[in-house]
């Protein structure tokens, strides 16, 4: 719930406001001389807001999201079970190959294969 409070009232109730922002996800607009000056929100909400802004600012990522949405609307998608089967088949094949040695080396090799770098 969003509440607007003058700074004098916010100062008196700061501990409660912070606790409510943290536990109830309440939001507070703090005013100075009747004009909005600051906001109190939970740290979780703030981090989410920052992440959303970073995504929105990344044009390549936004283009990829838009393309993905277009693909979904056009029916160009893959069934997760089919993808999982193909992935499992690929990984099982590589795991059984004795030339890889340790799992760390195998993981590095798998990363290179998936990214196209051999």
30/62 same-domain check: no
Evaluate whether residue 34 is within a structural domain: yes
**Average of pLDDT values for 29-40?**
98
Q: Give CA–CA dist 27/25, Å, rounded.
A: 6
Whole-number Å distance between alpha carbons of 8 and 2:
18
As a whole number of angstroms, the distance between CA 115 and CA 113 comes to: 5
Assigned domain for 116 exists: no
Residue 102 is assigned to a structural domain of this protein: no
pLDDT digits (tens, 9 = 90+) for 59-75: 999 999 999 999 999 99
Return the pLDDT at 2: 94
Q: Which residues make Cβ contacts (< 8 Å) with residue 17, sequence separation at least 6?
A: 5, 10, 26, 28, 40
Domain enclosing residue 85, as ranges: 58-97
Helix (H, G, I), strand (E, B), or coil: what is residue 79?
coil
Q: Whole-prediction pTM value?
A: 0.57
């Amino acid at each position: 719930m969003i509440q607007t409070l003058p700074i004098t009232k916010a100062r008196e109730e700061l501990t409660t406001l912070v606790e409510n922002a943290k536990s109830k996800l309440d939001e507070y607009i703090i005013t100075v001389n009747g004009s909005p000056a600051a906001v109190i929100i939970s740290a979780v909400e703030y981090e989410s807001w920052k992440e959303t802004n970073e995504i929105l600012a990344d044009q390549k990522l936004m283009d990829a999201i838009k393309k993905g949405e277009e693909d979904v609307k056009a029916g160009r998608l893959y069934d997760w079970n089919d993808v999982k089967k193909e992935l499992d088949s690929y990984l099982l094949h590589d795991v059984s190959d004795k030339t890889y040695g340790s799992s760390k080396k195998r993981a590095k090799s798998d990363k290179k294969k998936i990214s196209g770098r051999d």
